[in-house]
Structure 1
Amino acid sequence: MASRLVVSTFVSLDGVMQAPGGPGEDDTGGFPWSGWLAPHVDEVFGQIMGEQFERADGMLLGRRSYNILAAHWPGVPDEEGGAKINSMAKYVATRSPMTAEWRNTEVLVGEAAETVADLKKRTDGEIIVQGSSDLIRTLQRAELVDEYRLLVFPVVLGEGKRLFAEGTAAAGLKHTGSTTTGAGVVYVTYEWAGKPVLGSVA
């Protein structure tokens, strides 16, 4: 028994993943570009996201991302994807205890490198990570990420929280697929392949 941990996220061309959905989502550091995803959403984008959630058996979130999603989805059960998201298993990685009222939520209290490693061992299937930039960096350092599914948007932001920030653990990745939407969003997938392989072109 073991789960696969999949980081599924939206990033700008320069790797920023902060506040893609709209104003007020995450204004940490005075981030001025909240909502940069919206102009590039189309039918194919919706299909990609729908397929990801249909494949997933659970969703892992950091505390901030959990609060954002938990404030929206329970109130719109009939919205596209709402039934799946509300019914699936949800896990919140946090260092301090919290009350989670969104149904089917388990709170993982402690150091994420340890609690998520345990979660992977005791569950089956696929767990996707949404948002949660700080949590992702912890998972990267602990080599717990099995796959990246990235939707890369045709916008350069120049500032904000990045998926692969300074200090990210080095890793080799294997390209497993890619496609482009009509709005110019590149959907690309990679599997973790251990440490980077080095060589010389000389």
Structure 2
Amino acid sequence: MRLTLTTMLSLDGVMQGPGGPGEDRRDGFTLGGWVVPYADEEVGERITRWFTRAGGFLLGRHTYEIFAGYWPYVGDETEPVIADRLNGLPKYVASTTLTHADWQHSTVLRGEVADAVRELKERPGDELQIHGSGVLARSLMGDGLIDEYRLLVHPVVLGAGRRLFAEGTVPAALRLTECDALSSGVVAQTYVPAGRPAFGSF
């Protein structure tokens, strides 16, 4: 399976608390809910299209708990594709604190996460998708395990919050494979790894 990362970013790279004020207050973050003004039908269609490619999900503990508190209780009439995929497909949770996961088809990964993910990627099937899960994503980026980045960049600057490409991220070059400016101002960008960055001088 290919490992893909889908996440929402502000223009200054923040991915924390996109869906609501109380979603993620770690480090005193008070700006949650910043994607809501831009969450139109076009953005929803793009996210749904990506979900149709899922063969399973890889989630960090925090994102898992947010999803598990919502999606099992959503009827098929609301976001049917996303609900069907999240409720029906395997979910693998990377956590050092969870001992079990109650949401159906969920498994807590044991041992080294990178080793477990390498094993999952060797299995046949469609995409293994990460959604959000910043701590997990940053760890797997450092191990070179993410095959595709799908970034929904929103026209807002937050100035605070946890970032996807935080200080200390392993340097990497990416190749843009798709870029669409949506009517809300959100820009959907898809990248694949392109090795180490090149440097020069003018």
Q: TM-score per shorter chain, which class?
A: over 0.9
**CA contact under 8 A between 1:77 and 1:86: conserved in structure 2?**
no
- Name the residue aligned to 2:161: 160
Spell out the pairing of 1:1-202 with structure 2 (5 A cutoff).
Answer: 3-78=1-76, 79-80=78-79, 81-200=82-201, 202=202
Instruction: Check whether the contact 2:57–2:130 (CA below 8 A) recurs between aligned residues.
Output: yes
Name the CA distance, whole Å, in 2 between partners of 1:196 and 1:130: 25
2:152 touches 2:187 (CA, 8 Å); kept in 1?
yes
Mapped to 1, the partners of 2:177 and 2:117 lie a distance apart of 24
CA contact (8 A) 2:100 2:107 kept: no
Q: Could you tell me which amino acid in structure 1 is paired with residue 179 of structure 2?
A: S
Q: Distance in 1 between matches of 2:73 and 2:99?
A: 21
Query: 2: distance between equivalents of 1:197 and 1:116?
Result: 28
RMSD over aligned CA atoms reads 1.2
Count of residues in Structure 1 that have an aligned counterpart in Structure 2: 199
1:28 aligned partner, one-letter code: R
Inter-partner Cα distance in structure 2 for 1:140 and 1:10:
16
Report the Cα distance in structure 2 between the residues aligned to 1:108 and 1:131, rounded to whole angstroms.
18
The normalised TM-score by structure 2 is: 0.94
Which structure 1 residue ranges, 5 or more long, are not aligned? none
TM-score by length of 1: 0.94
Alpha carbons 1:95, 1:111 under 8 Å: kept: no
| Cα offset, 1:199, TM superposition | 3.1
Structure 2 residue runs of 5 or longer lacking an equivalent are: none
CA distance in 1, matches of 2:22, 2:124: 34
Fraction of identical pairs, as percent: 49
3-state SS of the aligned residue for 1:188? strand
What's the secondary structure of 1:128's corresponding residue? strand
CA distance in structure 1 between the aligned counterparts of 2:132 and 2:2, rounded to whole angstroms: 17
Structure 1 segments of 4 or more deviating over 3 A?
none
* Matches of 2:189 and 2:98, distance apart in 1: 36
Q: Secondary structure at the match of 1:182?
A: coil
1:31 alignment partner AA = F
